[in-house]
Amino acid sequence: MSIFVAVQSDDFCLASEYSELRRNAACGAIVTFSGLVRELHDTVLHGMTLEHYPGMTEQALTQIATDALNHWQLAAVHVIHRVGRLKPNEQIVFVGVASAHRPAAFAACEFIMDYLKNRAPFWKKEHTAEGDYWVEAKASDQHALARWE
Amino acid sequence: MIKILFFAALRERLDCEQYLLSCEGNTLDVASVLSQLQSRCQNWQQELSHTDLLCAVNQQLVPLTASVQDGDELAFFPPVTGG
């Protein structure tokens, strides 16, 4: 079982992460998720800035990954989250889970994203044609936790 | 001293990133620290009264009933929006 957590301004490479996750011979399934900066419906998005709480962020992500390892039999968990200024269509977050069989990998990947959305101290500020705005938290993200509790 | 940090929209609205509070060796609960901060001015009163405000002591999310003491790092921030 291994956990890899990174908070970084640099982009990440899906192929490299996938290769790392494949290294364990006990692994029969890999599920990956990547989140991107998406354009807005009502205005032009120039980009966004991701702020975080250095130190707490890494601890929170490691805790979430550890909780996933305690729930399911997993071979490896990778979580990468970018911070700083990002342009539309850039990658923000990566979660990769390797396990013996697919149900655990699918479930753990969703679990990690649901908790990351609610517990990891990141904040998005959108830079739009109309001005700069902090993104409001969504009730739907909070409700997503109910299925794990 | 208790080191108090503010993040994101809250930091901007308070125009404050870090605030040092003397607790004279006493253990306080987060709620009482919050009311001391709220009493500074009307803006702080308003911004620190949002019911969805989150807080962390030594980088762990905690409820307002949690204790803080000398040397602790306390942080207040709006609901998180990463991912």
List chain B domain ranges.
2-77
- DSSP secondary structure code for residue A120 in this structure: S
pLDDT at res. A85: 98
> ipTM of this complex > 0.85?
yes
Task: Report how far apart, in Å, the C-alpha atoms of A138 and of each of A19, B14, B80 are.
Answer: 34, 23, 9
Distance of alpha carbon A137 from alpha carbon A88, whole angstroms: 20
Question: Looking at the partner chain, which of B8, B52, B83 has a beta carbon nearest the beta carbon of A51?
Answer: B8
Distance of alpha carbon A40 from alpha carbon A126, whole angstroms: 10
One pLDDT digit (tens) per residue for chain A, 149 residues: 899 999 999 999 999 999 999 998 889 999 999 999 999 989 999 999 999 999 999 999 999 999 999 999 999 999 999 999 999 999 999 999 999 999 999 999 999 999 999 999 999 999 999 999 999 999 999 999 999 98
Q: Which domains does chain A have, with CATH numbers?
A: 2-148 (3.90.1170.40)
| A90, two tokens | 């850039």
**In this structure, how many other beta carbons lie within 10 angstroms of the beta carbon of residue B57?**
19
User: What DSSP assignment string belongs to B9-31?
Assistant: HHHHHHT-SEEEE--TT--EEHH
Question: Are A47 and A124 in contact, with CB atoms under 8 Å apart?
Answer: no
Residue with tokens 């200024």: A85
Cβ–Cβ contact B56 with A under 8 A: yes
A contact residues 4-23, partner B, Cβ 8 Å cutoff: none
Interface touch A120/B78, C-beta < 8 Å? no
pLDDT at res. A21: 96
Top CATH class of B2-77 equals alpha beta
Q: Sign of the C-alpha dihedral, residues B10, B13, B15, B20?
A: negative
pLDDT at res. B23: 87
Residues of chain B with pLDDT under 50: none
pLDDT at res. A26: 85
Q: For chain B, how far is it from start to end, CA to CA, in angstroms?
A: 34
Cβ–Cβ contact B51 with A under 8 A: no
